[in-house]
Amino acid sequence: MTTLEKVLYTAKAHTIGGREGSSRSDDGRLDVKLSSPGTPGTGTNPEQMFAAGYSACFIGAMKAVAGKTQLTLPQDLAVDAEVDLGPIPNAYGIAVRMKVSLPGMDRDAAQKLIDAAHQVCPYSNATRGNIDVNITLA
């Protein structure tokens, strides 16, 4: 386990009702209704929030790597994330697939960027060795 050298930010959320409830951050910037996947509910679910969080964090990691290497990123870079939920022995688990779009960028440079970002992204570091994560260049 890796211990943080310094806490830069702490996110806080209060959740009630589990998958059929709601969640709100302490600053009110996040306020969501929750519904289980595949139900007629109108809320989001933890897997959708994980997909959004991981993909946003991964873009931040690519920007950080690009900044350190003087690499110019395309304005329309994007990440499409999919988070699967399914059974594992005696429990449930998730798996992640992300397709990274870096239009107009040399494929070798883009792949090197993705590989480097995967090493520094906090979500990548948290999931490495714990769940299947597949990141591909679109």
pLDDT tens figures, 66-79: 999 999 999 999 99
Q: What are phi and psi of 87, to 5 degrees?
A: -75, 145
Where do the CATH 2.20.25.10 domains begin and end in the chain? 1-44
Query: What class is the 1-44 domain?
Result: mainly beta
By C-alpha distance, which of 52, 104, 108 is closest to 82?
52
Pick the CATH number of 46-137 from 3.30.1490.20, 3.30.300.20, 2.102.10.10, 1.20.1260.10: 3.30.300.20
Q: What is the pLDDT of residue 38?
A: 87
Q: Which residue has the tokens 């969640």?
A: 23
Contact 124, 133 (CB under 8 A): yes
pLDDT at 1: 81
In the DSSP assignment, the letter for residue 44 is B
pTM of the model: 0.95
The β-bridge relationship of strands 22-25 and 91-101 is unpaired
